[in-house]
Amino acid sequence: MKRLWLLFAQAVTLLLAAYFVVATLKPQWLGRGGPVAGSTGTISILEAPPAPAGQAVPGSFSAAVKKAAPAVVSINTTARNPYGNDPWFRFFFGDRGDQPQAGLGSGVIMSPEGYVLTNNHVVEGADAIEVVLQDARRTPAKVIGTDPESDLAVLKIDLDKLPVMTLGDSDALQVGDQVLAIGNPFGVGQTVTSGIVSALGRNQLGINTFENFIQTDAAINPGNSGGALTDIHGNLMGVNTAIYSRSGGSMGIGFAIPVSIAKQVMESIVTNGRVVRGWIGVEPTDLTPELAETFGIKAGEQGVIITGVLNNGPAGQAGIRPGDVIAQIDGKPVASVSALLSGVSALKPGQAAPFTVLRRGEKLELKVTPAQRPAAAPRQSLPGER
C-alpha cells in the first residue's frame, strides 16, 4: 500500500510540473492567450473577443456622439481693446492695447438655414466671429440677435449641407439621467464628457435675469459655453452656460439653459430680431409663512406676494395692490418669484391674461394686460463663470 501511494504522489508531481511548463511556454495550448510581442519574456494575457462590425461596445455613448457632435461648432471671436487709443492706457501698458483680444466658445447648429445658437457672453463685444465645424470647415458668422437676460445669442452662417442638432424634451429630464456635454474647452478641440443631471430648476444664482438651469456634473470648462448638453441618444437638452469654480476649471457643478427655453428665445430672435417679453410692473417677494400670516393668507396657499406696484403700470391699472398674492397666471400656478417672472415674460404684450390673486383671504380673478418688458442692462460676468 505504501508503495502505491508513493507512485501516485510521484505521478501527480510530474503532471503538475508539466502543467506549469506548458502554461509558461505554450499558454495557447491551454486557451489562455499568447505572448506579448516586444518583451524580453512572455506574458499570458486574456483578450476579449472583438465587437461585431458596426456595433458599439455595451455602455458606449458613441452612437449619441456620432449623432450630435457634427452639429456642435467652435466659435472664435476677436475684439479690439476699447482703450487702445487712450494715451494714458498706452503710457501704462504700451502698444499692447492695439492687439485684438481673442475669445473661445462653442455653439449648436439649429437649422439647415445656418442658425447657430450660443451664449450671449461668448459673442458680446466681438468685432469678428468665426465658426469652425467638426469637419474643419471655417466661415465667418454674423449676429442675428442677442438676449442678455437669458444669456443667449443667435448667429447665422452661410454653408451648404450643414449638420443639424435634434432637439429633445428638456421638460422630461429627471435628476439622475445621464447626459453628455460637447464643446471646445480651452481651445483643445471638440471634446465630449459625460455625467448625470444633478438638479433641475436652479435659480437665484445671480447669473441671468431668467434662470431655470439644468445642473450637471459632466465636466464643463472655459470654451464649453454655448455648447450642447445632450441625452444619451444625442438629442439636445440644454445649452451649457456657466460653471461654479474656484480654480477656473470644472469642479463638477455646471449649468445649462434648458432647450425648451432656448428654442423660444431663438424663435423670437429670428422672427423679431429680439426677444419680446411681457411686463406688468410689480416688485415680488417669495411668500414665507411669516408673510402669509401677516397678510391673512391661509396655510398651504402658494403664491408670490407683491410688495410694490408701479403707478400706472399694467398691474396697477388692473387693480393689483401691494400685499396681494399672485397665485396663478393664465391658469398656471405661481410658487416662486422666478416662476412669476417666467410666467409674466411668456405673456404677449397687449393681450389680456387672467391672474388669480389672493387678498386678505379672498380669491380674486383679475385681467392684466401686460406691456413689453423694457430692455435689460448689459450683463455682468461673474467670477468663475464660463
Span 101-123, average pLDDT: 91
pLDDT at 361: 76
**11-25, 266-280, 282-296, 325-339, range with the lowest pLDDT:** 11-25
Query: In the chain, what percentage of residues exceed pLDDT 90?
Result: 40
Q: Kindly name the residue from 74, 121, 231, 324 that is annotated as catalytic.
A: 121
Q: Is the pLDDT of residue 334 over 50?
A: yes
Span 281-303, average pLDDT: 80
pLDDT at 382: 36
The CATH number for 330's domain is 2.30.42.10
Q: Residue 93's CB: how many other CB atoms inside 10 A?
A: 13
**Taking Cα atoms as reference points, which of 165, 167, 164, 166 lies closest to residue 112?**
164
Cβ contact 26:44 at 8 Å: no
- Domain membership of residue 191 (yes or no) is yes
Cell of 154: 443667435
- Domain membership of residue 55 (yes or no) is no
Q: Kindly name the residue from 74, 147, 150, 151 that is annotated as catalytic.
A: 151
- Of the two residues 318 and 382, the one the predictor is more confident about is 318
Give the single-character DSSP code of 342: H
**Taking Cα atoms as reference points, which of 338, 160, 205 lies closest to residue 261?**
338
Q: Are residues 176 and 151 in the same domain?
A: no
Q: Which of 252, 272, 292 is the last residue of a domain?
A: 272
Please provide residue 269's backbone torsions phi and psi, each rounded to the nearest 5 degrees: -65, -45
Q: How many CA atoms lie within 13 A of 207 on its CB side?
A: 25
Strand arrangement of the beta sheet that strand 101-109 belongs to: 138-140, 128-132, 72-79, 101-109, 115-118, 152-156, 142-147
- Domain membership of residue 354 (yes or no) is yes
- Domain membership of residue 383 (yes or no) is no
pLDDT at 245: 64
Rounded Cα gap, residues 49 and 83, in angstroms? 63
Rounded Cα gap, residues 238 and 230, in angstroms? 7
- Domain membership of residue 49 (yes or no) is no
pLDDT at 256: 93
Which of 19-33, 153-167, 338-352, 371-385 ranks highest by mean pLDDT? 153-167
The CATH number for 261's domain is 2.40.10.10
**121 in catalytic set:** yes
- Domain membership of residue 21 (yes or no) is yes
Q: Which of 272, 292, 310 is the last residue of a domain?
A: 272
Q: Are residues 141 and 190 in the same domain?
A: no
Element holding 268 (H helix, E strand): helix 259-272
Position 190 confidence tier, pLDDT thresholds 50, 70, 90 = very high
Q: Are residues 266 and 288 in the same domain?
A: no
Position 378 confidence tier, pLDDT thresholds 50, 70, 90 = very low
Domain total of the chain: 4
Q: What is the pLDDT of residues 227-256, one digit of tens each?
A: 999 999 999 999 998 877 666 666 778 899
Cβ contact 184:313 at 8 Å: no
- Residue 250: alpha-carbon gap to chain centroid: 13
Burial group, residue 139, by CB count within 10 angstroms (0-12, 13-18, 19+): middle
Domain membership of residue 114 as a residue range: 71-156
pLDDT at 115: 96
According to DSSP, the residues that pair with 216 across neighbouring strands are: 197, 254
Q: Are residues 289 and 365 in the same domain?
A: yes
Burial group, residue 154, by CB count within 10 angstroms (0-12, 13-18, 19+): buried
Rounded Cα gap, residues 315 and 312, in angstroms? 8
pLDDT at 167: 94
Cβ contact 192:69 at 8 Å: yes
- Domain membership of residue 164 (yes or no) is no
The 3-class SS string of 178-215 reads: EEEEEECHHHCCCEEEEEEEEEEEECCCCCCCCCCEEE
Q: Are residues 241 and 318 in the same domain?
A: no
**225 in catalytic set:** yes
Burial group, residue 46, by CB count within 10 angstroms (0-12, 13-18, 19+): exposed
pLDDT at 288: 80
**151 in catalytic set:** yes
Cβ contact 72:183 at 8 Å: yes
Q: Are residues 262 and 316 in the same domain?
A: no
Q: Are residues 263 and 290 in the same domain?
A: no
Element holding 285 (H helix, E strand): strand 282-286
Q: Which amino acid is at 362?
A: E
Q: Are residues 175 and 262 in the same domain?
A: yes
pLDDT at 26: 66
Q: Are residues 91 and 127 in the same domain?
A: yes
Rounded Cα gap, residues 316 and 309, in angstroms? 6
- Domain membership of residue 58 (yes or no) is no
